[in-house]
Amino acid sequence: MNISIFGLGYVGCVGAACLAKLGHHVIGNDISENKVRLINEGKPTIIEADIDELVKEGRESGRLEASMDIQYVVDKSDISFICVGTPSGKQGHLNLDYIYNVARQIGKAIRHKESFHIVAIRSTVLPGTNKRVGEIIAEASGKQRGRDFTVVSNPEFLREGTSVEDYINPPLTLIGTDSEDAEKTFRELYKDIHGEFIATDIEVAEIMKYVNNTYHALKIVFANEVGNICKSLGIDSHKVMEIFCKDRQLNISPYYFKPGFAYGGSCLPKDCKALRTLAHDHYVKTPVINAIDPSNELQKKIAMDIIESKGRKSIGILGLSFKAGTDDLRNSPIVDVAEVLYGKGYDVRIYDRNVRVSQLTGTNADFIQAKLPRLYQIITDDLDEICQACDVLVVTNKEKEFADLPEKYPHKCIVDLVRQFKALDYEGNYEGISWANINNNAAQDQPIERNMLTTEY
């Protein structure tokens, strides 16, 4: 394929050399004359393992060149990669000026081009950039996105120092696109690159790199805080983390990685608190570990706010225990939400087929006695009755019996704390706690009519 690369720094130089190695014809462009000259002399613009040989080979094979002439670069290619820098501005915002400048230049250059052009954003950019780049190109070219050109998001995952190796062996290849043709082209382009090829929504691809890097940073500071606690206790933290990493079911695994409601139960809250207190007693500062509990509390507050925002008085809570399939109510986060709603005077009703108030014993009974002493008055074992009676249905666990709520009870407000539904075509109003709207029904967009008196301060 014929490819142009805008920006010949770390990402652009490695991409250009590797794509040439894979058999494509690549033309690089940079505002730096020096970088363009270096590529044309068969020399890399950066210092990296294996890159000298690759650029030299690419140049000798005739598959790699560079030019300052943007029209030439665009005319000679079907895909243009944007690999320019995205530095932080003074206030920490991302400066996307370089990206938009290149988009404008590419737009002008494709004005007279007959063939379809794909622009791929390789730089790290925030969600929404792809759309804006498309608008700039459309404006500058007078052409139409989807018909004459498209913009895909193809974030780069390489790490400096091992960038050539990472390019050929990435953890995965990610394309965010709204064009089937572009997806096909990219599958073909990357067919010799190892790892899974994933085509997804544009915004999903755009945010991915930030999610990855923030998680990597979180891993590092978590391991460091654990290390600091271990050191204060005379424990070898490397032995601890080695064993930690061997648990591939719960620790290094997809488990717990589903956005949703707060955690609860008798172990996580208690054990996090114990480790935090242990660190404190040994004068070890653990700001990340200390932040876990406030973040969890915030998630309960978010659930409360969503429920209250529906402006209805009767609230049906479907599931009270801390997870499906148990009657354990200790530290169940929805009990806290129910307690506040009940205290505020909402007409709260609760359904949980596993909970029998009369059979609660020990700490379970004590917990409920402290939080919801009148539970026996508001709990029912009739799911239909509660769904009929309440305007807002709050789904708190993934029991199968809640799966057909939208069909059975149209026109209710459903608040989903566990992603019970994948996608919906629901007549009523649906809101998930931590994901964008998945209800495609137009009824969703109608403003909610509030039938509760509110006090304005």
Ligand X SMILES: NC(=O)c1ccc[n+]([C@@H]2O[C@H](COP(=O)([O-])OP(=O)(O)OC[C@H]3O[C@@H](n4cnc5c(N)ncnc54)[C@H](O)[C@@H]3O)[C@@H](O)[C@H]2O)c1
**Based on CB atoms, which residue is closest to ligand X, 35 or 412?**
35
Closest approach, Cβ 123 to ligand X, in A, equals 3
Angstrom distance (rounded) from CA 123 to CA 414:
39
Beta bridge partners of 314: 347
Closest approach, Cβ 449 to ligand X, in A, equals 46
Stretch that binds ligand X, among 26-34, 176-184, 270-278, 446-454 (CB under 6 A): 26-34
Closest to 18 (Cα-Cα) out of 37, 33, 3:
3
Told to check if 438 binds ligand X by CB under 6 A, we report: no
Q: Dihedrals φ, ψ of 349, to 5°?
A: -125, 150
With beta carbons less than 8 A apart as the criterion, state whether 206 and 96 touch: no
Told to check if 367 binds ligand X by CB under 6 A, we report: no
Specify the DSSP element, H or E, that contains 198.
Answer: strand 196-200
Stretch that binds ligand X, among 9-17, 132-140, 194-202, 321-329 (CB under 6 A): 9-17
Closest to 319 (Cα-Cα) out of 334, 306, 330:
334
Stretch that binds ligand X, among 153-161, 383-391, 403-411, 445-453 (CB under 6 A): 153-161
**Based on CB atoms, which residue is closest to ligand X, 5 or 355?**
5
Coil vs helix vs strand at 350:
strand
Closest approach, Cβ 171 to ligand X, in A, equals 13
Q: Which two tokens stand for residue 246?
A: 């061997």
Angstrom distance (rounded) from CA 393 to CA 386:
9
Per DSSP, 88 falls in state: B
Which residues are within 8 A (CB) of 317 and not within 5 positions of it... i.e. 6 or more apart?
A: 334, 337, 338, 348, 349, 350, 351, 394, 396
Told to check if 107 binds ligand X by CB under 6 A, we report: no
Stretch that binds ligand X, among 95-103, 112-120, 167-175, 215-223 (CB under 6 A): 95-103
Stretch that binds ligand X, among 152-160, 354-362, 406-414, 427-435 (CB under 6 A): 152-160
Closest approach, Cβ 46 to ligand X, in A, equals 7
With beta carbons less than 8 A apart as the criterion, state whether 355 and 379 touch: yes
Told to check if 66 binds ligand X by CB under 6 A, we report: no
Told to check if 82 binds ligand X by CB under 6 A, we report: no
Among the listed residues 40, 67, 101, 314, the single contact to ligand X using CB under 6 A: 101
Closest to 367 (Cα-Cα) out of 342, 326, 336:
336
Told to check if 205 binds ligand X by CB under 6 A, we report: no
**Based on CB atoms, which residue is closest to ligand X, 121 or 307?**
121
Closest approach, Cβ 304 to ligand X, in A, equals 38
Q: Which residues of 213-243 are buried (b: 16+ CB within 10 A; e: fewer)?
A: eeeeeeeeebbebbbbbbeeeeeebeeebee
Tell me which residues are annotated as active site. Answer: 267
Contacts 24+ apart (CB under 8 A), 167-175: 167/14, 167/15, 167/18, 167/193, 168/18, 168/193, 168/194, 169/194, 169/195, 170/194, 170/195, 171/195, 172/196, 172/197, 172/198, 173/197, 173/198, 174/198, 174/200, 174/205, 174/208, 175/199, 175/200, 175/205
Told to check if 8 binds ligand X by CB under 6 A, we report: yes
Q: Which of residues 156-195 bind ligand X (CB under 6 A)?
A: 156, 158-160
Angstrom distance (rounded) from CA 183 to CA 103:
20
Among the listed residues 123, 141, 153, 439, the single contact to ligand X using CB under 6 A: 123
Closest approach, Cβ 338 to ligand X, in A, equals 45
**Based on CB atoms, which residue is closest to ligand X, 29 or 439?**
29
Contacts 24+ apart (CB under 8 A), 213-220: 218/288
Closest approach, Cβ 96 to ligand X, in A, equals 9
**Based on CB atoms, which residue is closest to ligand X, 161 or 343?**
161
Told to check if 124 binds ligand X by CB under 6 A, we report: yes
**Based on CB atoms, which residue is closest to ligand X, 121 or 417?**
121
With beta carbons less than 8 A apart as the criterion, state whether 455 and 296 touch: no
Among the listed residues 4, 39, 98, 189, the single contact to ligand X using CB under 6 A: 98
Told to check if 354 binds ligand X by CB under 6 A, we report: no
Among the listed residues 84, 152, 189, 289, the single contact to ligand X using CB under 6 A: 84
Among the listed residues 11, 36, 372, 405, the single contact to ligand X using CB under 6 A: 11
Which residues are within 8 A (CB) of 143 and not within 5 positions of it... i.e. 6 or more apart?
A: 107, 110, 111, 137, 149
Among the listed residues 7, 176, 260, 316, the single contact to ligand X using CB under 6 A: 7
**Based on CB atoms, which residue is closest to ligand X, 92 or 234?**
92
Cβ-closest residue to ligand X?
9
Burial (CB count within 10 angstroms: exposed 0-12, middle 13-18, buried 19+), residue 401:
exposed
Residues near ligand X (CB under 6 A), total: 25
Told to check if 29 binds ligand X by CB under 6 A, we report: yes
Closest approach, Cβ 125 to ligand X, in A, equals 7
Q: Which residues of the chain form contacts with ligand X (CB under 6 A)?
A: 6-12, 29-32, 35, 83-86, 98, 101-102, 123-124, 156, 158-160
